[in-house]
Amino acid sequence: MPYKLVGRTSLHKGKRLWEIVGQLKNFGVGRMVVRNTFEQQYKEPTFYRIVVARPMMDVGEPHANEDNRKGRALLERVFRGRHEGVVDISKVSYKADFRLIHKHEEAAYIEAYKNCKTPDITLISPVVEMPPLLKMVAERDGHAAKDLKIKLHKTAKTCRLAQEGEVPTKVYNMGLGTPVSPALYEGVI
């Protein structure tokens, strides 16, 4: 009778990064890999190129598929058509979700990356009008400022604040704005 594994199911299909890297000369430096889930999820090209791979070669429990899970991996990442530079993906390298790109397929991925049009970066107006109550309080207290400054989160990638002299493409105002389905707001706005 065989070993029977019991555990949660997952949607990942593929191999661990270390299982691929261990089969390749020089730990696959320069070769390309993809995450199967990303490939299914996004239509934009998403792939990695191995820069540094140092497997721990942990033995664990081979009969339970619990080996070759750890190591340090620095990979050059192209995520949804955007080049993100070298990133450390050691923490997700254990996921059985990687697939090696064969050398004759590499050109197609790079071509797709070059042809991929990334969405334009939105220029956001750096200031926003004060809310009505705050405006009244500011007036009462004699503050000179009429606007609030916007601070973007550092992970924001598709937008940035408009510099001086640039025309912002997106300006935020107080109020409800135009709803997506105005029919629902009849008599309210």
Partner 1 sequence: MARRVCRPATLQRLLSLRHTQLPKSRNFLSASYRCDDVWNKRLDNPLVSSVNLGDFYYDLDRKFKREGKVSAIDVDLFVNRIDNPRADGVVEELEELIHRLRRSPETVDTLESTHCAVLRVLLDGGYTDTLTRLLAQPMSYGLFPDHPTCNLLMHTFLERKEYTVIFPKNTTVNKVVYFDLLNDHLEACFEKTQAQIFQQDGASCHTALDVIQWLDDYKIGRIDDWPAAARVAVYLMLQEDFGPPLTQALVLASCYCYTTTQDNQPWEDYMPKVEEPQEEVKIRVKFLRNPYFDDHFDLTEPHPLLGKTLAWVSPLVGGLAGRSCGLLGWALYGKWEELAAALDRVATEKEPIAASVVVQIKSLVEGVEDVEARERLLSGVGRVEAAEGLVVEQDLWLAITQLAQDAARAAEPLDIKAQEENYRRWEEQREEEYQRQVQAYKKQQLLAEIEEKKQELTAREEVIYFFDNKEKLSMMLPEKKKFYPKRSPAYPKKKRPREVDEAYIPPDV
Query: Which residues in this chain contact partner 1 in the complex, by CB under 8 A?
Result: 1-15, 19-20, 22-27, 54-57, 59, 61-66, 68, 96, 99-100, 102-103
> Helix, strand or coil for residue 1?
coil
CB of 184 to partner 1, least distance (A): 43
Burial class (CB in 10 A: 0-12, 13-18, 19+), 146: exposed
Rg (C-alpha) for the chain, rounded Å, is 25
Tokens at 173, concatenated: 């105002």
Cβ closest to partner 1, residue 3 vs residue 186: 3
Cβ closest to partner 1, residue 57 vs residue 121: 57
Question: Which of 37, 35, 5 is CA-nearest to residue 17?
Answer: 35
Q: Cβ of 66: how many Cβ atoms within 10 Å?
A: 13
Cβ closest to partner 1, residue 6 vs residue 167: 6
Cβ closest to partner 1, residue 37 vs residue 123: 37
CB of 72 to partner 1, least distance (A): 10
